[in-house]
Chains A and B, each alone.
Chain A
Amino acid sequence: MNLATETRNDVVIIYVKEERLDAHNSTELKSAVQKLFEDGKKNVLVDLKDVRFIDSSGLGALVSGFKNAISHQGNLKLSSLQSQVKSMFELTRLHRVFEIFPSTVEAVENFQS
């Protein structure tokens, strides 16, 4: 799976550089997020700008990351969802769980506030 990371103001941004986040590759994202929290990072932003398609396994990997954040007293937020991807969060009510931002800039600002 193609993931790129960048740290901006104490926020680790993971860019998912894949068109699909599904049962084939979501375990890798789950592990990457888990490792960040285990390594002591507190603020993780997952940017989904390139993701055109997400399935239940992809949603599950993000839920797992969110729970990991809670158990490590950290935060996991999301940014740059394409409209059809966002509608999957709405269908499964997960838009009430995650803080979702239109861009990485707005998300990073929110972590600071």
Chain B
Amino acid sequence: MGNTIEVDIKVPNKTRYLSLIGKIGEDIARELERYSGDKEVLAYHLNLVLTEAMVNAIKHAGPKEPEKLVRIVITLHRDDLTIRVYDDGQGFDINAIPAPNFEELEDRGRGIFLIRTLMDSVAYRKNCKENMLEMKKKLG
């Protein structure tokens, strides 16, 4: 086996599949042979960013076709982890989302903050066909 793992999966855009997707992230973290940090902490973090990203994709998916799929691609090449989540909804400007105001007690608005905190880089790209949330992390 080489140094690259790629998981390319499509699931219905329903929250009942969050657990399935999150567990894939956990399993990848536990399989890392060279990772020197706490694998259980990393497993939680990958579970969380996948869960948050998929919820985001479900929220932005086109309302006209409820049976749509969310596509998730997880690539691990050496120490570079990239997670891409595709949706075909309206899209949104990730840079326009403010960090949570810790003084105000809001019910919502912590998902993107958690992704940004736990990953090294986060980008959201739009084209005419679909949107992609791309998250990268160096697993050194």
Contact = CB atoms under 8 A, between A and B. Distances in A.
B107 A84 contact: no
Interface string A70-91: 0000000000000010001001
Interface stretch (B65-73, B79-87, B108-116, B124-132): B108-116
A92 interface: yes
A67 B18 contact: no
Nearest to B45: A84
Interface residues of B, number: 26
A92 B110 contact: yes
A84 B41 contact: yes
Which size bracket describes the interface of A in this complex?
20 to 34
The DSSP consensus for interface residues of chain B is helix
Interface stretch (A38-46, A56-64, A102-110): A56-64
B114 A53 contact: no
A50 interface: no
Contacts of B108: 56, 60
A84 B114 CA distance: 14
B1 to A, nearest CB: 29
A53 B22 contact: yes
Interface string B1-35: 00000000000000110110010000000000000
Contacts of A63: 105-107
B12 to A, nearest CB: 13
B55 A20 contact: no
Interface string A2-14: 0000000000000
B48 A24 contact: no
Contacts of A64: 107
B105 A67 contact: yes
A5 B108 CA distance: 26
Given A66-B105, A67-B107, A88-B48, 4 more contacts: A20-B22, A22-B51, A23-B15, A63-B105
Interface of A: 20, 22-24, 53, 55-57, 59-61, 63-64, 66-67, 84, 88, 91-93, 97
Interface of B: 15-16, 18-19, 22, 40-41, 44, 47-48, 51-52, 55, 58, 100, 102, 105-111, 113-114, 117
